[in-house]
Amino acid sequence: KEKLFVLPQYVSIQKVKLNKVALKKELLIKSDAIVIGMIAHYREEKFQELLINAFSKIKTSQEIHLILLGNKDNDERTLSKYNVLVELVHRKGIEQKVSVLSGYPVEKILNVLDIGVLVSQIEGTPNVVMEYMLYGIPVIATNHIGCKNLLENSLYLIPNEESNLAQSLETLINNQNLRMA
C-alpha cells in the first residue's frame, strides 16, 4: 500500500461558454442545424466510420450536421484514418453535412454540440463522455463498462451496430425535450 497511489479519473478541462451561433457560422454549419459530434482520436479502435454510416441513413425533417474531431498529426496511422474518414464522407456525398476536423479547439466543439457520441471497440473511463456531461450534452455511447459507470442506466448505451446508433440519433434529433433532459 505504501507504493501504490491511485489517481482519480476527472475532467481535465473547465467549462467555457462560447457563442453557439457564431461558432456555427465559423464552422459553416446552418444556424438551425442540430449538431452531432464525436470527439475521439483518429485510431482504429474508434468507430467514426460507424457513425458516418449511421448518420448518412438518418431520416428526419430536421437540419443536421456531424462533426468529427481528432488529431490527424499524431503519426502515420492517425493521418491515414483521417484520410479514410474524409474519403468516406466524399463517397457518401455528405460533405455539406459533415466536418472532419483536426487541431480545432475542443471547447469550441463542445459549445456547438447538441448530441455527443462515442462509439469504439474498447474504453476505460472515457474523458470525452465526462466532457459531454460537463457541458450538459446528451450522450450516445458504446455500452463499455467505463461508459456504463458514467451513464448508469441510460437508454443511449448501445452496442456497436449501425441500426441502433441511427435509431438513437433519430430519437434525440426528433425530440428536443429528450435532448434537454
Q: Which residues contact 102 (CB under 8 A, 6 or more apart)?
A: 42, 69, 70, 71, 72, 73, 82
Q: What is the pTM of this model?
A: 0.92
DSSP 154: -
Strand 115-118 and strand 139-142: the pairing is parallel
Answer yes or no: are the C-beta atoms of 30 and 63 closer than 8 Å.
yes
Mean of the per-residue pLDDT values of the chain: 93
Neighbours of 18 (CB within 10 A): 13
DSSP 135: T
pLDDT tens for 76-124 read: 999 999 999 999 999 999 999 999 999 999 999 999 999 999 999 988 8
CA distance 167 to 156: 10
pLDDT at 6: 63
Q: Give the length of the chain.
A: 181
CA distance 110 to 104: 11
pLDDT tens for 20-44 read: 999 999 999 999 999 999 999 999 9
Q: What is the mean pLDDT of residues 153-159?
A: 93
Amino acid identity for residue 22 in this structure:
A
